[in-house]
Structure 1
Amino acid sequence: MVGRIVRWGVALGLGGLWWWSVLRLALVPGAGVLEGAVAAGGWGLSLLPVHCVPKARAGRGVRVSSGARGAAVGE
């Protein structure tokens, strides 16, 4: 229970910091490198495929056929 609260607190804190930097970049003419670094770092983290798992751990819900690999769309 405590771990869940700590995770949520960290996530909300970092999310608030990211929004502060983005809004400061958009609204304050004197915003600097720190705000840009925080905003770019948070955006870059959102691109990580954190929901991907190795095929060996995927479970029953994932089915990969051998013919689908490497085939271009529309072939």
Structure 2
Amino acid sequence: MAAAAWLARSRAPADQLITFGPAGYEAYARLRYIPDPISPGQLETDVDLPAERELWSPQARRALHVLAEFTTTPDRCFFCI
């Protein structure tokens, strides 16, 4: 839980934290698990996902392994998912 304490202490609006993470980092990466809206006015939350859809796809696993290489502590790396 200590690795995520910054979430509870942050004064940023919840939607900003959820979408972009905390302010102050030199760079950010966002890995999307849901499709982009396909029609004008459609929200990301309006997309119907099949119940059998896997959260951890092979592409997501690979991306997290690659992202871990960009830290000085790859054996102790946390992702907020």
What range describes the TM-score normalised by the shorter chain of this pair? under 0.3
Q: Which structure shows the higher helix fraction?
A: 1
TM-score by length of 1: 0.27
**What TM-score, normalized by structure 2, do the two folds share?**
0.25
